Structure 1
Amino acid sequence: MPLATTRRAGLVDQVIEQLRDAVTRGEWPIGERIPPETELVEQLGVGRNTVREAVRALAHTGILEVRQGDGTYVRATSEVSGAIRRLCGSELREVLQVRRTLEVEGARLAATERTEEEVAELWALLARRDSDLREGRWQDFARTDAEFHCAVVRSGHNGLLTELYRGLTEVITASVAATSSITPGASHVPEIGHEGLARAIADGDADRAAAEACGFLDELLERIDRP
C-alpha cells in the first residue's frame, strides 16, 4: 500500500495520521501484520525513529499491537475501539454486558427515531444474515449480524451512543461468533433471531424494542453460565 510522502514539519503526527488512515480504510485488516519498519521508512521517506515513535503512539491507543520478534499487528480500527477492547479484554460476559447497556437504549431510540429507509435497511440485513446462515458462511454471518446491531443503534440518531457503539465493532463481531457455538452440540447454529426486534422498531414500539434487545442478550448471558 503506497503512502503519501510526508512533509518535513510534524513528521511523527503525519505518520500517525497516515498509518491510522490505512487501518480505518481497511487496507490493513484487523489481525494482520503491517509492513515492516524498513518498508515503512522507505515508503514514507522518514527516519526509523519517526516510524517507531508513530507505531508506539498507535500501540498505546490500542490500534496497533507490537509483538516482540514477530512484528506489529492491527488490533482495532479506532482509538475508541482500542480503548474498549482493553477494557473488555476477551471476557465474553463483559462484552455481552456492555452490549446490553448500549443496545437496549439504542433499540428504544430506534423505535421512535428511525426512518422508513432505515427500517428497510434492517430487514435487508436480516435477509442477508439468514442467507449467510443457510449457506454456512459463518464469518460473513458474524459480520452481518454485527452490522444489523450497529444499524439499530444508528437508527436512534444519537451521535454519542452511535460512536460509542461503533467503537465496539470488533468485539461485537467476535462475540457473535463466540455465542454462535455456546450450546453444546449446536456449533455454528445460532438459535436467536432478531425478527421481533426489527418488527418492534418498524412498529414504533419503544418498550417492545427495548425488551427484545434485552431479552436475547439476557439469554446469551444465561447460556454462558450453564455448566
Structure 2
Amino acid sequence: MRQTIERLRAEVAAGTWPVGSRIPTEPRLVEAYGVGRNTVREAVRALVHAGVLECRQGSGTYVVGTDELAGAVAQRVTDDRLGEAVEVRRALEIEAARLAAIRRTEADLAALDGALAARAAAWRTGRADVFVEADAALHTAVVTAAHNAMFAELYASFGAALRASVAAAVGPDLRPDRYVDHDRLVAAIRAQDPTRAAEEAARFLNHPSRN
C-alpha cells in the first residue's frame, strides 16, 4: 500500500490533479495502478487523513493541498484564524518582495507583467472567485522572482490560506473601494528597489480589507 500512497502523493505534487480538482474514481485508479480496490481505498484514506485529499459525499474525492503541510494549513484556515493567515502572509510576502527586487530577471518581469494584467482583467469580470485566483497568481509570481526554492515550496503550502485571506478581503462582491492596485509593487521590483518593494508589500497587508 505504501507504494500506492506515494504514487498518489506524487501525482498531486506534480499537479496531475490541481488543488480543487477531483481525482479519478476508485475503479479508474485500480485500473491505472494495477492494484486492488482495498489498496486504493486505504491509500486515499491515508491522504485524506493527512489533509491532502477530501472526500465529499455524493461528489467524489478532491485535492485540497499539494502536500501534508499544505493540507495541515488548509485545515486550520477558519474564519476566526484569518487574522493569523494575514500575519503569515506579511512575514512571507514582505521578504519575498524584497528578495525579488534584488534577484529578479527579465523573465521574472515578463511573468509579473502578465500576472498583473491578468489580475486587472479578472477584476473586470466581476467574479470574486476569478479575481482571487488571479491575485494569488501575482503574489506567487513575486515569490518565484525571489529565487529561493525553499521559500517557494513553503509559500506553495500556504496556498489555501492565501486564497482564503484574499477571498475574505474582497468579499463575495467586487466593490471599487476594495480594489488595491499592485502596480507600484511590481514597479519597485522592476526598479530593483528592495526597500520600496517591501514597503509596498506591507502596505496592502496592513489592513484586513486589503489583498
Same fold (TM over 0.5): yes
Instruction: Provide the residue aligned with 1:74 in structure 2.
Output: 63
Residue number in structure 1 paired with 2:109? 119
Residues 157-193 of structure 1 show CA distances to partners (whole Å, capped at 9, x for unaligned) of 12221111111123212322221128xxxx2133211
In structure 2, relative to structure 1, the CA distance for the partners of 1:60 and 1:123 (3 Å cut) is same
**Post-superposition shift, 1:105?**
0.6
Match of 1:49 among 16, 38, 42: 38
CA distance in 1, matches of 2:83, 2:35: 44
Structure 2: how far apart are the matches of 1:161 and 1:199?
Answer: 22
Residue among 76, 83, 97 paired with 1:93: 83
Aligned pair 1:188/2:177, yes or no?
Answer: no
Greater shift, 27-36 or 58-67, is seen at 27-36
Distance 2:198 2:162 in 1: 18
Aligned equivalent of 2:165, options 167, 175, 195: 175
**Structure 2: how far apart are the matches of 1:107 and 1:26?**
26
Aligned twin of 1:15: 4
1:146 aligns with 2:136: yes
Equivalent position of 1:205 in the other structure: 193
Q: 1:97 to 1:116 in 2, by over 3 A?
A: same
Q: What is the TM-score of this pair, normalised by structure 1?
A: 0.79
Distance in 2 (alpha carbons) for counterparts of 1:171 and 1:26? 18
**CA offset at residue 81 of structure 1?**
1.2
Task: Quote the sequence identity (%).
Answer: 48
Count of matched residue pairs: 207
Structure 1: any 5+ residue segments left out of the alignment? 1-11
In 2, the alpha carbon distance for the partners of 1:121 and 1:207 equals 21
Q: 1:34 to 1:123 in 2, by over 3 A?
A: closer
How far apart in 1 are the matches of 2:152 and 2:131?
22
Q: 1:198 to 1:86 in 2, by over 3 A?
A: same
1:83 Cα offset (Å): 2.4
Please name the residue that 1:65 is paired with: 54
RMSD: 2.5
Q: After superposing the two structures, state which structure 1 stretch, 23-32 or 169-178, moved more.
A: 23-32
- Once residues 124 and 22 of structure 2 are traced to their aligned partners in structure 1, the CA distance between those partners, rounded to angstroms, is 32
CA-CA distance at 1:200 after TM superposition? 1.0
Rg comparison, structure with higher value? 1
Partner Cα separation in structure 2 for residue 163 and residue 101 of structure 1 = 15
Scaled by the length of structure 2, the TM-score of the pair is 0.84
Contact 2:73–2:160 (CA<8 Å) still a contact in 1? no
In 2: Cα distance, 1:127 partner to 1:33 partner:
29
Matched, 1:102 2:92: yes
Query: What is the alpha-carbon distance in structure 1 between the residues aligned to residue 6 and residue 82 of structure 2?
Result: 32
